[in-house]
Amino acid sequence: MSSAGPRSIDAPPIDAPPVGLAAIERARGALAGRVSATPLVHSPSLTGRLGAPVFLKLDSRQETGSFKLRGATNALLALGDDARRRGVATASTGNHGRALAHAAKALDIRAVVCLSALVPANKVEAVRALGAEVRIVGRSQDDAQVEVDRLVSEEGLTAIPPFDHPDVIAGQGTLGLEVVEELPDLATMLVPLSGGGLAAGVAAAVKGVKPSVRVIGISMARGAAMHASLGAGRPVAVEEVETLADSLGGGIGLANRYTFAMCRALLDDVVLIDEAEIAAGICHAFHAEGEVVEGAGAVGVAAILAGRIAADGPVVALVTGRNIDPERHRAIVAEGGAA
């Protein structure tokens, strides 16, 4: 837990963010040897386009294929002995579910991942292969969440949410700390933005070390819940639609406790990009940088390519994940490769 403890949205956010640099530094100590410090690589082609140095932080190379291993591992390490014995639960089928399954196995903690009967068999198998117990319940994500709530109230498991949790935010923040320490003249950080755990943690880390760094959240134009919530001044629901950046889908929770307030206080801007721009980002990552990147992981690259970023110094784009269906990836890069 952060030493500041939970705060309401009305609390003064900049003076006392729920997760600060000290909590993120503690998380880094706890995660040492459990998650990889991933490479920060210079991109000559994006540097040429932008007219300022561009670097890519490749957390897509993190084990399980996304940065979510950082927050999930940190949250598990923060559990008390009793909670560890009882185990943890989640309804996530995506990168958080994979990360939690992997982290729990590494720490010898029971993890139950609740999935609806509509989740494709290959996804179910992937979670099982990572060592988690899979429970198939109902026919929707909501049904799966009801089972998580039951495991918590009746069997004493702990639910580990994908973003709105201080230990998860602190774990994600270690990504920002690695970057600002390796690149002290960092001016602008581009962060893929969904529930905002990553953006909140990374912004707290880099601004904690260097307050002048601009932190820009990047979301897909279709169904950007944090962007809509920041505009409304409170958490709002948005319609969920299909997008190439599927890991950025979903709401921020109407009862959001931490990430909305932190994103409101710490983000300098939010940029929205469309589906064609996301596809161009995936293509560029593959053809120019040699990296397989999923849509959500490519939005920073996409924003630079689309001319949406103004730079006054070195820019880092966080490349957050590589979990994309191989057939889909092949189709996207084949189309874009000819151009």
Ligand X SMILES: *Cc1c(COP(=O)(O)O)cnc(C)c1O
Tell me which residues touch ligand X (CB under 6 A): 66, 68, 95, 163, 192-199, 247-248, 294, 296-297, 320-321
Nearer to ligand X, 53 or 70 (CB): 70
What region does 307 belong to: left with phi over 0, alpha with psi -120 to 50, or beta?
A: left
Cβ 185 to ligand X shortest distance, Å: 25
Tokens encoding 115: 């999935």
Nearer to ligand X, 53 or 230 (CB): 230
What separation in angstroms does the CA of 211 have from each of 14, 214, 230, 265?
11, 8, 21, 13
Cβ 155 to ligand X shortest distance, Å: 27
End-to-end CA distance of the chain: 49
The answer to whether residues 295 and 283 touch, using CB atoms and an 8 Å cutoff, is no
Nearer to ligand X, 53 or 192 (CB): 192
Cβ 273 to ligand X shortest distance, Å: 13
Give phi and psi for 215, each to the nearest 5.
-115, 120
Nearer to ligand X, 74 or 95 (CB): 95
CA pair distance 40, 42, nearest whole angstrom: 7
Among 328, 269, 314, 296, which Cα is nearest to 95's? 296
Cβ 154 to ligand X shortest distance, Å: 28
Relative orientation angle of helices 166-182 and 68-77, to the nearest 10 degrees: 130
The answer to whether residues 184 and 215 touch, using CB atoms and an 8 Å cutoff, is no
Cβ 117 to ligand X shortest distance, Å: 23
- Identify the DSSP state of 41: E
What region does 292 belong to: left with phi over 0, alpha with psi -120 to 50, or beta?
A: beta
> Alpha helix locations (H) across 32-140?
44-50, 68-77, 81-86, 95-106, 121-129
Cβ 29 to ligand X shortest distance, Å: 21
Cβ 252 to ligand X shortest distance, Å: 8
Of all residues in the shown chain, the one whose CB is closest to ligand X is: 321
